[in-house]
Amino acid sequence: MFWALYITSHTVTVMVCIGFWSTQYEPCIRETENNTTLAASFIDRNTSTGSREDCGVDFLSIHVHGINAVLVICDIVLSLVPFNALHFLYPCIFTLNYVVFSGIYYAANGTNESGDPYIYSILNYAENPVMSSVAAILLVFLPAAMYVIPLLVACARDRVYQWMTERCNTFIEATESETTRHK
């Protein structure tokens, strides 16, 4: 059970990070007298309305959709939990459940924190049912592709571990043979 949850959480975290920053985040476009610039500013939820005029991203989004992914990659590197190529099924099953939940949430008139009838705008079944349906289908199969990222990180970690182990063993053997030779 641990393995399935570990694989799922790490794969989905990477997927959510990439998905949020590529589909939900809208950078600022500020026009000045001389030129138009693209800027990323930050919204303080305590002092700002969070409206489009504020033009930015709040620290909660950065933490949930950015720092979290960095910590997950660090966890994969520092742990020795094995990743198997067939384990991509666990995150796919999880996202299938999430898509079913989002459909039920919409049908039950659930709203997000802003009162909109969706959790994420990409799953807004009311305004754009075709796009939302395509996104829902992609959400079910996308973890299979996203699983490649933690899998490659784990493979690189395993190679480095193997290389370091061989180097240490060679050093230990050389030290032991040197010690026995001087006796």
CA dihedral 73, 79, 82, 83 (to 10 degrees): -10
* CA nearest neighbour of 81 among 168, 12, 160, 150: 150
The reported pLDDT for the residue numbered 46 is 39
Which residues lie across from 39 on neighbouring strands? 28
Cα 74 from chain centroid (whole Å): 12
Helix 2-19 vs helix 89-107: crossing angle, to nearest 10: 60
pLDDT along the chain (183 residues), means of 10: 89 87 70 55 43 60 86 91 89 93 91 85 87 90 89 92 90 77 65
User: DSSP alpha helices (H): ranges in the chain?
Assistant: 2-19, 59-62, 68-78, 89-107, 129-146, 148-181
The reported pLDDT for the residue numbered 123 is 86
The reported pLDDT for the residue numbered 70 is 93
Which tokens sit at 122? Answer: 């990409």
99, 136 contact by CB (below 8 A): yes
C-alpha 122/C-alpha 11 separation (Å) is 20
Phi, psi dihedral angles at 28 (to 5 degrees): -75, 145
Report the predicted TM-score, pTM, of the whole model to 2 decimal places: 0.67
Residue spans of the domains in the chain: they are 2-104+145-181
The reported pLDDT for the residue numbered 113 is 84
The reported pLDDT for the residue numbered 172 is 82
